[in-house]
Amino acid sequence: MTTEIATRTLVEMKDMSVSFGGVHAVERVTIDLLAGEVHAIVGGNGAGKSTLIKTLSGAQRADSGTIVIDGEEVSIDNPRVAKGLGIETIYQTLALAENIDAPGNVFLGRELTTSIGNLDDSAMEDATRKVMSRLNPQFQNFKVPVASLSGGQRQSVAIARAVHFDARILIMDEPTAALGPAETEQVRALIRQLKREEIGIFLISHDIHDVFDLADRISVMYQGRIVGTVQKDDVTIDQVLAMIILGKKPGEVTQSELDELHG
């Protein structure tokens, strides 16, 4: 039963290009995302991962290329448009207002209000408690500024914010970068949970173990281009590392290059 759903394409990005001045940050990149899939995008610093993904979340305009969501071409000019399409982004920097509590952050920019336009804090807390009971049942600190929460709890808030609004497409930029081992495991469990809910996830990560633990497919970027997109089960960690470092597909790497890599 899952095969039919799992092959449903949520996002197709075709020939995306972004340049800053004369530098091609992203050059003619084509990539897609299926429902219930974690598609990892990996690559070195400056490979263009974040820039590519920002064109989908509305934080960066592409110079050229098309984005197709559910078979329809769309123009994503700003974060609001992206959110309207069910695309939610969890940024590397978390993008939480540290001085505001969890419900305030979950609903930031989309507050629930009463009929006369007053903030309905109780309704927001109630909704946040419901999302959290699904994502992170241990979470209880709903009335304190998120600055006083641990890294893992803050990440739960960031994720709750994305999933509460029925995201179908989730972009996670380094979701475990700032976390300790236990918290990392918590976030990994969360991602598996979201996968089961048929959400498509673009996962950007430096952590090759995260990638191999969570991803279904892996796309490697090198100097603004896609080196290749592979099924995780078809490759080894070494092969992916070679793609990241050398910018070549497994078949194109010579033995001497591999030796150098290990040496």
Alpha-carbon distance of 54 to 95, in angstroms, equals: 14
Per CB under 8 A, which region of 39-47, 119-127, 162-170, 198-206 contacts another protein?
Answer: 119-127
The window from 62-70, 95-103, 200-208, 233-241 that contacts another protein (CB under 8 A) reads: 95-103
Q: Is 133 in the site for another protein (CB under 8 A)?
A: no
Report which residue type is found at 236: T
202 binds another protein (CB under 8 A): no
User: Other C-beta atoms within 10 Å of 31: how many?
Assistant: 20
Question: Do residues 233 and 56 touch, judged by C-beta distance below 8 A?
Answer: no
Which of 104/247 has CB closer to another protein?
A: 104
Question: Which amino acid belongs to residue 66?
Answer: T
Please report whether residue 140 would count as binding another protein according to CB under 8 A.
yes
- C-alpha 223/C-alpha 123 separation (Å) is 47
3-state SS, residue 61:
coil
With respect to another protein, which residue has the nearer C-beta, 146 or 211? Answer: 146
Q: What contacts 55, CB < 8 A, 6 or more positions away?
A: 13, 16, 18, 26, 61, 62, 65, 67, 76
- For residue 89, state whether it binds another protein (rule: CB under 8 A): yes
How many residues contact another protein, by CB under 8 A? 30
Residues lying near another protein in the complex (CB under 8 A): 59, 78-80, 83, 89, 91, 93-100, 104, 108-111, 113, 117-119, 122-123, 125-126, 140-141
